[in-house]
Chains A and B, each alone.
Chain A
């Protein structure tokens, strides 16, 4: 089946630093999404991308849908302690129509 490779697996940063993480696939997706999950909670949708090349922001978060439709990245600017959590990329489309295929997640730790 389709797989998403998300990197890095974990990040330890200081408050105020910028963060970048990405997701790649061997298959094409029609939609890319980024979710954040905190302990004991379900994933929360951060950004949804629908067109190749699309660049979308949500506050300090910016995500892009890769031109090849096989990758996406998420940037977080000026990180704060509440950014701590696990960030997942997810794709929809191709052979995974109607369902989300998730990456393995990036664990983000922010030191005050």
Chain B
């Protein structure tokens, strides 16, 4: 069974540029999460989707971050414009509906903003 797929794996951009990350969850997983992981820290949740609905986006900086999951499968996270402090690894995870504990992570996208 294929795991969570993310692309790109690495991205280097200049500040004020836009950037987008894509995630395809494990087949059949209704719940999708985006996390941000700063160097030397554990991941922190940005947004959680149940199918197409964003049910927890309290940690998403909405002035510059947006996300969508239009058909309840794959998802895109966007930053516009990027700031130096956005440099981090952006992780996507998925789980079966109601099993919030057993989340399976993708390899992440390492973003560097210069």
Contact = CB atoms under 8 A, between A and B. Distances in A.
Are A and B physically bound partners? Answer: yes
B102 A98 contact: no
Contact of A99 (B4, B33, B91, B106): B33
A51 to B, nearest CB: 12
Interface stretch (B38-46, B63-71, B72-80): B38-46
Where chain A touches its partner, the secondary structure class is: strand
B42 A102 contact: yes
A104 B104 contact: no
B98 to A, nearest CB: 9
A35 B103 CA distance: 10
B43 A44 contact: no
Interface residues of A, number: 23
Contacts of B104: 45
B41 to A, nearest CB: 6
Contacts of A33: 101-102
A78 interface: no
Given A42-B4, A42-B93, A102 B43 contact: yes
A45 to B, nearest CB: 6
A48 interface: yes
A90 B56 contact: no
A48 B93 CA distance: 16
Interface of A: 4, 31, 33, 35, 40-45, 48, 50, 88, 90, 92, 97-100, 102-105
A48 B102 contact: yes
10 contacts: A31-B100, A33-B101, A33-B102, A40-B110, A42-B4, A42-B107, A45-B104, A48-B101, A98-B48, A99-B56
A100 B108 contact: no
B55 interface: yes
Contacts of B110: 40
A98 B101 contact: no
